[in-house]
Amino acid sequence: MMESLNFEPATAEEARDQEILRNSLTYWQDVWRRLKNHKLAMVGLFGVIFIILFAVFGPLFSPFSYSDQNLDFANTPPRLNIYQVAENPDYNVFLTRDYKLLHVSDNGTILNRLKLDDKDVINKKYTYVDGNKFVLLDFAYNLLPGMEAEYDYTFSLNGAPEISQPLQKVPNRLYPFGSDDLGRSLLVRVMFGARISLTIAFVASLVNLLVGVVYGSIAAYEGGRTDNFMMRFVDLLNSIPLVIYIILIMVLVGNRGLWTLTLALGSVYWVQMARLVRGQVLSLKEQEFVLAARALGVNRSHIIFRHLVPNAIGPIIVAMTMMIPSAVFTEAFIAFIGLGVSAPMASWGTLANDGLTGLLSYPYQLFFPSLAIAITMLCFNFLGDGLRDALDPRLRKG
């Protein structure tokens, strides 16, 4: 009698409250949801996607390949300071820092190089010729003592009045990032450099991943003496300055191909990954699901690779994301001391190395590859930080 008083039928509205409206999220959906809310991580993710697209598809849109040379157009900066020496029809010229005179269109396309006809070194007057046009360049003003002029150069076409002020700065249409000392498009070379740098970084990290995961998980699962022995070896490798060993491997192998570098990097940096995986597996292997699998007679490799490693995938992915930028870094470092991929191939490191020689005259040749390295590092770091928070909320840092 009391019961009938205490219970009343739920209204339709109340019943609806109990319904499960949303689908339950899988692990990866949950990770994605958390990652999406992490602004910096999304910046990093889009940055990484952009860099990969840039590397893969960028070169397709360019008329040049990474090894196309045009010595006439060597060392042109990304922005051209053009002088208009004739109007109607316009005739614009650009003077490179090594005194090559280039004919440039109004919108910044380099058309052709004028031939140097006469060199009056004493009076600092050069004459250039293009068909029936003669351009006289006088650059004595700022070079002679006591003659502090407002301008650096004067130009005159076929004896017309001298032009001493540049018309405007136009972007270099032919070579948006400028051209290098052999007249190759720096933009295309940076894009190809991205291919090389990223390939090396990805493959090296993959090798590290494989070796590290296999090594670490076996050591941890076997335990005891095997573990002790295997980890002593890792300790040993860890107490060796690895960059030196990469350099030695590069010297030893001799051929400076893409794969040599990849293998050199891949063979050395798996140590941290092995340690990480070992730590994860050590704590996982005591759990009941492993005991259950063992009781069911699942064999060892199955337990390790089907049960243990997938459960440690979060930290592994984070470590992998962090490994890629450090591989880019190391590769650039090695290339910079002259052990990178051989010419005409170029990674970002080799490009930066090439740019170093002309630093004070052509800073852009160093600037763009360096910028590419820095942006890549930044994006992967952001993404890695975000992934760490998303994959394992417990590790979320302050």
The encoded tokens of residue 84 equal 């208009």
Least spacing, CB of residue 64 vs other proteins, in Å: 26
Closer residue to other proteins in complex, CB, 170/261: 261
Closer residue to other proteins in complex, CB, 171/363: 363
Closer residue to other proteins in complex, CB, 22/397: 397
The encoded tokens of residue 68 equal 């196309």
d(Cα 100, Cα 104) in Å, to the nearest integer?
Answer: 12
Closer residue to other proteins in complex, CB, 144/243: 243
Closer residue to other proteins in complex, CB, 15/374: 374
Q: What does the DSSP assignment read for 59-124?
A: GGG-SS-TT---GGGTT--SEEEEEEEETTTTEEEEE-TTS-EEEE-TTS-EEEEPEEEEEETTTT
Cα 243 to its chain centre, rounded Å, is 20
Least spacing, CB of residue 226 vs other proteins, in Å: 14
Q: C-alpha angle with apex 51: 347 to 31, nearest 5 degrees?
A: 125
Closer residue to other proteins in complex, CB, 67/370: 370
Least spacing, CB of residue 236 vs other proteins, in Å: 6
Least spacing, CB of residue 223 vs other proteins, in Å: 12
Closer residue to other proteins in complex, CB, 314/325: 325
Least spacing, CB of residue 49 vs other proteins, in Å: 18
Least spacing, CB of residue 85 vs other proteins, in Å: 30
List residues bridging with 133 in a β-sheet.
130
Closer residue to other proteins in complex, CB, 154/197: 197
Looking at residue 152, the DSSP 8-state letter turns out to be S
Least spacing, CB of residue 178 vs other proteins, in Å: 15
**Residue 135: which H helix or E strand, with range?**
strand 133-138
d(Cα 77, Cα 114) in Å, to the nearest integer?
Answer: 18
Residues contacting residue 359 through CB under 8 Å, at least 6 positions apart: 366
Closer residue to other proteins in complex, CB, 144/240: 240
Binding site residues, other proteins, CB under 8 A:
236, 239-241, 244, 247-248, 251-252, 254, 325, 329, 332-333, 336-339, 352, 356, 359-360, 363, 366, 370, 373-374, 377-378, 381, 397-398
CB 105 within 8 A of CB 97: no
CB 285 within 8 A of CB 220: yes
Residues contacting residue 266 through CB under 8 Å, at least 6 positions apart: 203, 204, 205, 206, 207, 208, 211
Least spacing, CB of residue 251 vs other proteins, in Å: 6
Sign of the Cα torsion 384, 390, 395, 398 reads positive
Looking at residue 162, the DSSP 8-state letter turns out to be P
Least spacing, CB of residue 273 vs other proteins, in Å: 18
Q: Which amino acid is at 289?
A: F
Closer residue to other proteins in complex, CB, 97/300: 97
CB 84 within 8 A of CB 135: no
d(Cα 340, Cα 335) in Å, to the nearest integer?
Answer: 4
CB 308 within 8 A of CB 290: yes
Least spacing, CB of residue 239 vs other proteins, in Å: 5
